[in-house]
Structure 1
Amino acid sequence: MIMGKVQEFQRSVGVTKSEEFNKKQLATHAINGGLICGHGCAYCSTPSLLRTHALFRDMGISSFQYFAEGGSVVDPWTAIRVGRQIGSLTENDMVMISTITDCWSPEAQKHNLGRKILEQVLINSKCKVRVLTKNAAVQNDFDIIKQFGDRIRIGLSITSPISKENIIKLIEPNASLMSERIDAMKKAHSLGIKTFGMICPVLPGIGNDPESYKQMLSAVLECDPEAIWTEPLNPRGPGITRCMEILDKNNHSNIAAHFDIIRNSTLHMDYVENLINMATNIAKEMNCIDKLKILVYSNGDGYRVDDQAVIWLK
């Protein structure tokens, strides 16, 4: 049984150029602290990117099974490589920590990985930095972040209103509570650290009704974010089914039914369309439409939406 096992694995990459996150207007480059993080978010699509990775082949297990059984893969040597590579970035570049695996997840914290990476980036380059995490432990590094505050933006992923944090905890078992993430964002703002909003993924039956979305947006707006990104749930891999099964098992079959519906590609498109229109209308109502960026993996064909805030990614 793998449950809770942490595998240390040394990669060759440190700082990577990211066309995808450049399209999203989030960053030009990315830094990640491993292959699979220990937050264990049931909807995570990262295992889908690792299907052919040699590590899992050598272990005799698929990336999906390893993740499903609670395993994580951390690279404690990441900061060393980042220090060697980051100097080529300029003040016109934005590096994002993290895009795939969280550098403040439990196994990363044991190596103080997020802070070590931050130090290398801030000391050895002039680039700007965007930190994204689901862990309030990032506030332990606000001291160094505050020193370089003009270069850094802090965001904590918001995936449910606080009123539903007991439900989201079932499918984000090792991430910080939603109230803790929002408190960390507010603390950053109070210290004069720049913030950005990341309301994503917007989960069916949890965050995609107007009242829940409004609660999440209101919480982020209290932190005066420079911009707010929002995104539907990615249908890639078994994440939707995994969320559905967990919710059903824990007596939330009514919410599980919302996940079940969007397994159908046509109904998933309806869910995305409704999210775009709802988020746009609420942002207009709350006078923040200029800050909203809705990320959609499509070219827009077939959608009947007000797309003034949409970034079509295909």
Structure 2
Amino acid sequence: MSNVLTCQRNIGITLSNEFAKKQLATHAVNCGLICGHACKYCSTPSLIRTHRFFKENKITSFAALESGTAIVDLWTHLRVQRQSMKLDSNDVVMMSTLTDCWAPEARERDLGRHLLSTILSKSTCSVRILTKSASIAYDFDLISKYRNRVMVGLSITAPVHNEHLAKIIEPNASSITERLQALHLARDMGIRTYGMICPVLPGIGTSQSDYESMLDSVLAAKPETIWTEPLNARGPGIVNCAKALQQKGYGLHAHEFDMIRSSHFHQLYVEDLINTATNAAISRGCLDKLKILVYSDGDGYNVNDAAVIWLKR
């Protein structure tokens, strides 16, 4: 992609209490500020909006996302090289938490592979990869050499029959079919996998049959654990999704997003997702694998929360 800016940050591998609470990782590493997948629901601009880069370049984080601008840090590996030596076998590094290290601009520059190789060769820690890019499969040769220390997940946000809708919301990400193919290839190569059905898009993946379709596709990859999560209400993401669907002529689907702008209806959406995911997992005998991430303390929710991690407790 052509609309790529560079930014030299001062961080590499960071402690991540949030992802530790999610039971995903102890540390995080990202290869820039905004990735080129340009997902309409992305909450990263809300988290990095005060970064000095935006003031210096007279652009907001939200405008960068909307224009499809990617911002990469080509020097991340230099900091990661030094920091990796401090990690031990009890640590798990998440690649990535804010930006995708295999997004188009990162893949063109081999940032994900370079960072992954550095972390694995300089430490004894484990790495959990999360991406929306099927191009991760090009690095399965490297991952296979460290197969006991690397877990691969590809975010599944819609059932295959609704991937045309997901493409509107995640314009530069791999198709759902391509992501599942990469995940299943990892399984076939003996690479450890985990499931990430996240975010579950309202009206696109929230019905019982739609969720079960996604769950079955992920279970076919023999995941060690499966995480699922509702769409984050932070920032303008919900509005952006509705706008994009409306512009493509999917007014009814846009309405599903508009509905959950209300805190009351967002809670109902989350409750329905919890019950849908829990019932689907129970019927398939995999409730022990499921972890539902919810940014709430659980007060006022009427759900079976056997698999819920209440992130604000």
The TM-score, its normalising length taken from structure 2, stands at: 0.98
State the one-letter code of the partner of 2:233.
P
Residue 119 (str. 1) matches residue 90 (str. 2) = no
SS at match of 2:85: helix
Tell me which moved more, 300-309 or 56-65: 56-65
Runs of 5+ in structure 1 lacking a partner?
none
**1:57-108 residue CA offsets vs partner (Å, 9 max, x unmatched):** 1111211112111111011111121111011111011111111100000110
2:64 to 63, 66, 84: 66
State the one-letter code of the partner of 1:52.
T
2:309 to 301, 305, 311: 311
Aligned to 1:9: 7
CA distance in structure 1 between the partners assigned to 2:261 and 2:48 by the alignment: 22
CA distance in structure 1 between the partners assigned to 2:47 and 2:2 by the alignment: 21
1:133 to 131, 134, 140: 131
Indicate conservation of the 8 Å contact 1:4/1:72, yes or no. Answer: no
Aligned to 2:77: 79
Aligned to 1:142: 140
CA distance in structure 1 between the partners assigned to 2:64 and 2:187 by the alignment: 38
1:298 to 296, 299, 304: 296
SS at match of 1:39: coil
Aligned to 2:241: 243
State the one-letter code of the partner of 2:279.
N
| Structure 1 residue 4: Cα displacement | 5.4
| Structure 1 residue 53: Cα displacement | 1.3
Let me know the Cα RMSD of the aligned residues. Answer: 0.9
CA distance in structure 1 between the partners assigned to 2:77 and 2:49 by the alignment: 25
State the one-letter code of the partner of 1:307.
D
Alignment of 1:256-275 (within 5 A): 256-275=254-273
Indicate conservation of the 8 Å contact 1:76/1:108, yes or no. Answer: no
CA distance in structure 1 between the partners assigned to 2:126 and 2:215 by the alignment: 25
Aligned to 1:233: 231
Total equivalences in the alignment: 312
CA distance in structure 1 between the partners assigned to 2:26 and 2:127 by the alignment: 10
Aligned to 2:108: 110
CA distance in structure 2 between the partners assigned to 1:185 and 1:46 by the alignment: 25
**1:21-60 residue CA offsets vs partner (Å, 9 max, x unmatched):** 0000000000101000000000000000122111111111
Aligned to 2:280: 282
